């Protein structure tokens, strides 16, 4: 039975009170910064006329980032409280109010970048060279870089005002997915009726009970199929917002609009798809092997997550997962290890278990002035342990960045976001393999690693290809319909998994429940991230002090350089297809190892 939020033990909840003691304290801070009528931040607007003066520009950046920093803390508290129980009215109101205030801030400051870009090049060069602006030089370089894609101050203000409307598709999807959709109960092979939620689905889909797996898969996806016209319109609306942005800012494509500001060439995206497509053979070999080992005449998508060893299914309590994750990061040094230990065990970074109306899934969040916060829906399966390691990797990346960078460089690009998280998953797998007690456990763990790479490299690349196809259709004014989306998704599944996997109508609708399709070309970074992470993990664990320090330097660098350049500091070049090919090679070797172990068995 899923419990109410007020029934959850304090020790199992994240320490949001460290950010603001309660909603009343948050409200006071909110009222202070939002006081008065619009424009709320007239001190910023007053600096506009003298923006070509380096002293004035420094003051502008100082004031701008100080306000944004406080808004970020207010937003973090509100969204964490909202995600604890998204049906709770007071927290929902607070969340919506801070979103509105942040939108107001964006509107009032939308003139800054276009005004800077409108300055003649000679003056811009002098600003870049000014020692007064040394701490903001790279930030200024990034603004100037998008000069040809920045509109007039008046147009930028309109675009900023449109942001709230543009969020409707994503917010509507989240409301349906996380609150409104109820999945009822599903029957297992013993005719027992079991409650089905997003959190429990992760356990059921891995169950050795095929009836439970199949019924859970059908129940989840049929709920989305009941609303597929609405889900199609929501996704279409999201992509239309991306198209609107790309057209308004004079980008050639939506993909270019998403990647150009981060200085990532669109060829990185296309090369990922091309390299993975050319390396699909090991994935299809694994599908054939999986079907054989499961003894199935027909294998469906609901059969792809069940462990291949029936007598081994590693479960562990939350505290045990914490301990093994802390032990696994030893290659990164004692300081890293102690920071993680304190965060998980003393500072209550993690909101551990599912409760009624809690946001599904998992994430790492926080602001520059807060501890990292990790949302979990922990159920004790091994996948949950890896998810905790994954989110802890994000959190440590954020913590080290915040400790070593000023606020304006205190975040990191989404292109880098999945590197640290997947790196820690690889360290956890190495630790678990060292502790495996017998061949059965080794098979189980190797299969788990194969599944990690399948899910993160191959599956996310398939998602990236789906996302690119949909954007291409919108750019060509081809209407997106439920039938079209089903067909595109079915064809991609068949291309990747091959004839060993049968795609039924419930599998065709899976696109409708993927939240990352609302994130504007996010998913490809899981695939590039795991490729970079595997290469860096091999480099660190087989190297010495220098290799470890190179990686830690990367974690401490935030967004002080472009993401491709930061990865080069760590020791990997993502402009080359080599890391992707190497990850596919690792996957192939693991499949061969699994085949050898299971044939000997």
Separation between Cα atoms, residue 51 and residue 118, nearest integer Å: 11
Rounded average pLDDT over 439-444: 91
Q: Which CATH class is domain 169-347+381-601?
A: mainly alpha
**Among 113, 157, 228, 391, the one annotated catalytic:** 391
Contacts of 333-341 with C-beta under 8 Å, sequence gap 24+, read: 333/548, 333/552, 336/396, 336/400, 336/552, 339/396, 339/399, 339/400, 340/392, 340/396
pLDDT at 548: 97
Residue 601 confidence (pLDDT): 52
Name 508's Cβ contacts closer than 8 Å, sequence gap at least 6: 486, 487, 489, 490
Banded model confidence at residue 182, pLDDT cuts 50, 70, 90: very high
Per residue in 74-104, pLDDT (tens digit) is 999 999 999 999 999 999 999 999 999 999 9
For the segment 446-481, what is each residue's pLDDT rounded down to a tens digit? 998 999 999 999 999 999 999 999 999 999 999 999
Residue 600 banded pLDDT, cuts 50, 70, 90: low
3-state class of 187 per DSSP?
strand
Average pLDDT over residues 19-34: 95
**How far apart (Å, rounded) are the C-alpha atoms in residues 105 and 70?**
12
Which pLDDT belongs to residue 45?
Answer: 92
| Domain spans, the chain | 5-166, 169-347+381-601
C-alpha separations of 502 from 303, 461, 569, 581 in Å:
10, 20, 44, 27
CA distance 587 to 535: 13
Higher pLDDT, 343 or 308: 343
39: preceding bond cis by omega (within 30 degrees): yes
The pLDDT score that the predictor gives to residue 156 is 82
Q: Assess whether pLDDT exceeds 90 at residue 118.
A: no
Taking residue 32's Cβ as centre, other Cβ atoms within 10 Å add up to: 9
Residues 6 or more apart whose CB falls under 8 angstroms from that of 524 comprise 269, 272, 460, 461, 464, 467
Percent of the chain with pLDDT over 90: 85
**pLDDT (tens digit, 9 = 90+) per residue, 302-323?**
999 998 988 777 889 999 999 9
Q: How confident is the model at residue 151 (pLDDT cuts 50, 70, 90)?
A: confident
pLDDT of residue 369: 97
Q: Are 199 and 354 in contact (CB under 8 A)?
A: yes
Q: How would you class 364 by CB atoms within 10 Å of its CB: exposed for 0-12, middle for 13-18, buried for 19 or more?
A: buried
The answer on pLDDT for 73 being more than 90 is yes
pLDDT of 360 over the 90 cut: no
CA 142 – CA 132 distance, rounded (Å): 18
- If one compares 156 and 478, the residue with the highest pLDDT of the two is 478
CATH number 1.20.140.70 is the correct assignment for the domain at 5-166: yes
Q: Has residue 556 got a pLDDT over 60?
A: yes
Q: What is the dihedral of CA 56, 62, 63, 69, to 10 degrees?
A: 160
Q: Cβ distance 451 to 588 under 8 Å?
A: no
Lowest mean pLDDT among 2-6, 147-151, 271-275, 294-298: 147-151
Mean of all residue pLDDT scores within the chain? 94
Report phi then psi at 501, rounded to 5.
Answer: -115, 130
pLDDT band at residue 276, thresholds of 50, 70 and 90? very high
DSSP 8-state class, residue 3: P
Q: Is 156 designated active site?
A: no
Task: Tell me what pLDDT residue 510 has.
Answer: 96
225: which residues sit within 8 A by CB, 6+ positions away? 505, 506, 509, 512
Average of pLDDT values for 47-69?
96
Of 53, 141, 56, nearest in space to 408 by CA: 141
């Amino acid at each position: 039975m899923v419990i109410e939020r007020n029934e959850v033990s304090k020790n199992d909840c994240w320490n949001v009170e460290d950010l603001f003691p309660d909603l009343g304290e948050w409200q006071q801070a909110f009222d202070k910064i939002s006081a008065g009528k619009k424009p709320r931040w007239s001190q910023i607007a007053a600096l506009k006329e003298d923006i070509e003066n380096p002293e004035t520009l420094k003051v502008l950046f100082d004031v701008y980032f100080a306000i944004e920093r406080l808004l970020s803390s207010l937003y973090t508290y509100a969204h964490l409280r909202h995600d604890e129980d998204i049906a709770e009215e007071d927290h929902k109101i607070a969340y919506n109010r801070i979103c509105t205030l942040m939108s107001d801030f964006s509107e009032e400051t939308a003139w800054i970048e276009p005004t800077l870009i409108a300055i003649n090049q000679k003056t811009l060069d002098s600003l870049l060279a000014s020692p007064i602006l040394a701490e903001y030089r790279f930030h200024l370089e990034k603004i100037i870089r998008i000069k040809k894609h920045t509109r007039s101050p008046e147009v930028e203000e309109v675009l900023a005002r449109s942001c709230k409307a543009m969020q409707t598709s994503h917010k509507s999807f989240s409301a349906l997915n996380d609150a409104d959709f109820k999945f009822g109960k599903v029957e297992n092979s013993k005719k027992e009726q079991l409650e089905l939620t997003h959190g429990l689905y992760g356990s059921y889909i891995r169950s050795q009970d095929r009836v439970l797996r199949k019924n859970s898969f059908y129940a989840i996806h049929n709920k989305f199929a009941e609303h597929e016209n609405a889900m199609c319109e929501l996704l279409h609306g999201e992509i239309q917002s991306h198209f609107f942005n790309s057209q308004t800012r004079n980008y050639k494509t939506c993909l270019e609009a998403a990647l150009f500001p981060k200085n990532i060439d669109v060829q990185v995206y296309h090369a990922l798809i091309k390299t993975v497509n050319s390396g699909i053979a090991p994935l299809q070999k694994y599908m054939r092997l999986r079907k054989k080992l499961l003894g199935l005449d027909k294998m469906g998508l609901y059969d792809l997550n069940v462990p291949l060893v029936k007598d081994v299914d590693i479960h562990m309590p939350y505290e045990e997962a914490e301990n093994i994750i802390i032990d696994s990061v030893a290659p990164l040094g004692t300081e890293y290890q102690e920071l993680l230990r304190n965060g998980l065990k003393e500072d209550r970074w993690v909101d551990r278990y599912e409760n009624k109306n809690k946001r599904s899934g998992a994430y790492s969040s926080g602001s520059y002035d807060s501890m990292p916060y990790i949302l979990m829906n922990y159920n004790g399966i091994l996948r949950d342990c890896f998810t905790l390691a994954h989110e802890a990797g994000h959190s440590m990346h954020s913590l080290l960045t915040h400790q070593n960078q000023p606020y304006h460089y205190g975040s990191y690009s989404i292109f880098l976001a999945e590197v640290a998280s997947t790196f820690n998953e690889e360290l956890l797998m190495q630790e678990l393999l060292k502790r495996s007690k017998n061949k059965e456990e080794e098979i189980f763990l190797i299969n788990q690693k194969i599944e990690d790479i399948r899910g993160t490299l191959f599956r996310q690349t398939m998602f990236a290809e789906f996302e690119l196809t949909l954007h291409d259709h919108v750019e060509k004014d081809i209407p997106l319909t439920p039938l079209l989306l089903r067909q595109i998704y079915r064809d991609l599944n068949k291309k990747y998994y091959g004839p060993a996997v049968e795609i039924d109508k419930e599998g065709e609708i899976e696109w409708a429940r993927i939240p990352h399709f609302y994130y504007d070309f996010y998913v490809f970074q899981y695939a590039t991230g795991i490729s970079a992470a595997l290469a860096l993990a091999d480099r660190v664990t087989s190297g010495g002090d220098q290799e470890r320090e190179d990686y830690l330097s990367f974690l401490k660098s935030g967004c002080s350089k472009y993401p491709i350049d930061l990865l080069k500091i760590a020791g990997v070049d993502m402009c080359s297809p080599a890391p992707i090919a190497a990850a596919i090679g690792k996957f192939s070797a693991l499949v061969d190892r699994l085949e050898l172990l299971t044939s000997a068995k």
